[in-house]
A and B are shown apart, each in its own frame.
Chain A
Amino acid sequence: MIELRNVQKLYRSGGEKLPILRGVNLHVEKGEYVAIMGKSGSGKSTLLNLLGTLDVLDSGEYELAGQAVHRMGKGKRAALRNEKIGFVFQQFQLIPNMSVYQNVLLPLTYGQKRWSGKRAKVLHLLKEVGLFHKRNQKPSRLSGGEKQRVAIARALVNEPDLILADEPTGSLDEETTENVLQLMEQVHADGATVIMITHDLEVAKRAERILLLKNGMLKEMANEAAYGI
């Protein structure tokens, strides 16, 4: 599903070059559930944005579902995002002035694919995440857990093969974390590939595989002690 080869990414700030990713290699099979851990500022979000084609890498190669993303233009990448990827963020990233229903519907209004029964699809997903009764509310009236469930519904509405979650439980308490994790597991069980960033080892352990981003490199995390160092 995903193949990263020697991927490098640096940011320029004030003429200075800040290398964040210094040669990341990653192989993820279709249908895998992978957690990525790492210290704050280690470049986890940067890596996830690259995987999500929101940003471009400086060097190296990125293949997603057999397509060479590093050679794609903006338009192609947008289409790829729309068709194959669903995002879940720590800050939920719902559009504040739009209702829950409109937020979930949004991915279906973009892209080339013609969806039939959009409305039914959105309402079905809202039922799945238990927010059907709040479909006409603005996001500001929802709790953190509810917001994240809306975001998950939105990530799933275009039936993506890949779910990219950047600390989806980072702003939630234990109970709602559990709720969100169960939803992720269900998505995974339904066949999607899931890559999740987290600070929380307990959360990471729910995945099939844990990777550690450190010094701009990605390593398989052998044991818990490795994370502490």
Chain B
Amino acid sequence: MKLLTGFKLAWLGLWANRLRVLFAMFGVVIGMFSVIVLASISIGVKDTLLKQMGGLGAEQILVIPGRVLDTMSGQKDLLSGLTSVPSTLTYEDAKEAEKVENVRSVTPHLETVTTIQSGEGKEAKKLQSVLVGTTDQYSRVQHAELAEGRFFTKKEQETKAKVVVLGSNIHDGLLGKESTSEATQTPGHPAPEPWWKRLFSALTAQKASAQKQEASLVGKEVAINNEKYKVIGVLSPNAALGSSTDNNVVMPINTALQETGMKNLNKIIVEADSTETIDQVDSDVFAAIKTHHKDIDYSVVKQEQMLEALNKVTTILQAMLAGITVTALIISGTGIMNVMVMSVRERTREIGIRKALGATTFEVMLQFFFETLLLCVLGGLIGLGIGYLFIELWNHNISVFSLVLPLWAVKLALYSSLGVGTLFGIYPALKAARMNPSKALRFE
């Protein structure tokens, strides 16, 4: 018969039983929703991590404390092989690394937690911050852009100048402004504006322009551990998962070493001239640092190895996704099949009537098959829609990392709901089609 008629009959059949249909669809809706959201989370996490690791360029290597243990296969495993030990890396190590051939720059990184204060007496404002001691290369190597002012110079670094560059949260906090990023929102702050308001102001750019006219601390003095420092610049906000500069107070490495009394660095970023020399720089830097260390209590990591670790994480995420997809499909599929089998049973008389009116076995089969198929695809579409809404809401409200809805996930959701409909639609359809009309008409 005509497929279109079968389709129309199925549509009518569903419409006539719309309440039951709604319940049956629930499983598919939830299933597809979770597939969509999980896919976008896994892609979002991967993108965010990639962006952050992108901070470590292909021509950069990272020297970190602790030794990355080799796996059985002789590979360095950043995920499980990283031992956590106190740092023994020093500024001397960094200077040693600088002497290595083909090294373009070396950026030491000293981090500690400190309290920063602006103003005196009653107007004083105190904030917890991350003190970072580093070199003038920092803003370039960390991709930290300046919102205003300037970064410190090599000269200021050597003369242990008392200058600081503030992260955007610290700057705003000291000015008494509300934090602009909820990633670092602390309790007690007033609730952030609703997302639609922020969306609106972002669109009209009102807030941004209003902010520019506001006060700045550049040129003013702040106090850290009772020592006065001059603010020379403010960093642009860069909310990111884990490694934001927003709460940093950046000062020259020599100043930091002297004022904190600390000796050990958290990491050293070494930049090679080019990607061709990266392997040579990698092993030479390792050897250079070895001259100051009795044991190997540090590690040298290339981007390649970071990516490997990242791939492992995303592989795990994707395996989880696949598992959840399959589970969701089986659960929603069997749920739908159950509902359809019940529906077929309840509609036994209807089937008898249709056959009495001249419906063939095939026509009845087609109708019920299409009913299941439509049910699944409709449920899939609704789940997709809700998932899309969720992702939009998330991205407007949460800036830690953004969710990305990949096209393949949309296709996966639609194809799999079609697949589920086909697979689980066959049995109820056959059950309906095989009924003996005279018996079906007698059914009470």
Taking Cβ atoms with an 8 Å cutoff, the residues of A that contact B are 49, 52, 54-55, 74-75, 78-79, 81-83, 87, 89, 93-98, 102, 106-107, 109-111, 154, 158
Task: Among B17, B354, B357, B359, find the residue whose CB has the most chain A CB atoms closer than 10 A.
Answer: B357
B184 at interface (Cβ–Cβ under 8 A)?
A: no
Contact between B17 and A93 (Cβ–Cβ < 8 Å)?
no
Q: Are B360 and A74 in contact, CB atoms less than 8 angstroms apart?
A: yes
12 A-B pairs with CB atoms under 8 Å apart are A54-B355, A54-B437, A55-B437, A78-B360, A81-B355, A95-B353, A102-B12, A106-B354, A109-B9, A110-B357, A110-B358, A111-B358
A106-B438 contact, Cβ under 8 Å, with A97-B17, A98-B12, A98-B16: no
Contact indicator B361/A158 (Cβ below 8 Å): no
Least CB distance from A43 to B in Å reads 12
In angstroms, how far is the closest chain A Cβ from the Cβ of B123? 75
Minimal Cβ-Cβ distance residue in B for A95: B350
B338 within 8 A of partner (CB): no
Most B CB atoms within 10 A — which of A94, A97, A107?
A: A97
Contact partners of A158 in chain B: CB under 8 A: 358
Taking a contact as CB atoms under 8 Å apart, the answer to whether B437 and A110 are in contact is no
Interface size for B (C-beta < 8 A) is 25
Taking a contact as CB atoms under 8 Å apart, the answer to whether B16 and A97 are in contact is yes
Contact B359 A78 (CB under 8 A): yes
Report the number of A-B residue pairs with Cβ-Cβ less than 8 Å.
69
Interface residues of B in 314-365 (CB under 8 A from A): 349-350, 352-363
Q: Which residue of B lies closest to A157 (CB)?
A: B357
* Contact partners of B349 in chain A: CB under 8 A: 93
Chain B residues close to A by CB (< 8 Å): 1, 5, 8-9, 12, 16-17, 349-350, 352-363, 436-438, 441
- Bound together, the chains give a CA A158 to CA B356 distance in angstroms of 13
Q: Can you name the residue of chain A whose Cβ is closest to the Cβ of B358?
A: A82
Instruction: Choose one: A81, A97, A102; the contact of B357 (CB below 8 Å).
Output: A81
- CB pair A78–B441 under 8 Å, yes or no, is no
- Tell me which residues across on chain A come within 8 A of B357, comparing CB atoms: 81-82, 87, 106-107, 110, 154
Asked if A93 contacts B356 (CB within 8 A), the reply is: yes
Q: Is the CB of A109 within 8 A of B360?
A: no
Q: Which residues of A contact B436 (CB under 8 A)?
A: 55
Query: Lowest 4 CB-CB distances: which A-B pairs, in order?
Result: A82-B358, A97-B16, A49-B438, A55-B438
User: CA–CA, A74 to B363, complex, Å?
Assistant: 12
Complex Cα gap A106–B8 (Å)? 12
Q: Which residues of the other chain, B, contact A109 by a CB distance below 8 angstroms? A: 5, 8-9
C-alpha spacing A97/B354, complex, angstroms: 13
Say yes or no: A78 contacts B350, CB within 8 Å. no
Residue from the list A82, A93, A102 in contact with B353, Cβ < 8 A: A93
**Contacts known (A54-B441, A98-B12, A98-B16); A74 close to B361, Cβ less than 8 A:** yes
Question: How far apart are A125's CB and chain B's nearest CB, in angstroms?
Answer: 14
Chain B residues near A93: list those with CB within 8 A. Answer: 349, 352-353, 356, 441
Complex: how many Å from CA A110 to CA B355? 9
**Chain B's nearest CB lies how many Å from the CB of A191?**
20
Contact (Cβ within 8 A) B353 A79: no
Given contacts A54-B441, A55-B436, A75-B361, contact A87 B9 (CB under 8 A): no
Chain A residues within 8 Å of B363, by CB: 78, 110
Our pick among A49, A83, A97 for the contact of B358 (Cβ within 8 Å) is A83
B18 — nearest CB in chain A belongs to which residue? A97
**Is there contact, CB below 8 Å, between B441 and A89?**
yes
Give the chain B neighbours of A79 by CB distance below 8 A. Answer: 358, 360
The residue among A75, A95, A107, A154 with the most chain B CB atoms within 10 A of its own CB is A95
User: Which residues from B are CB-within-8-Å of A98?
Assistant: 12, 16
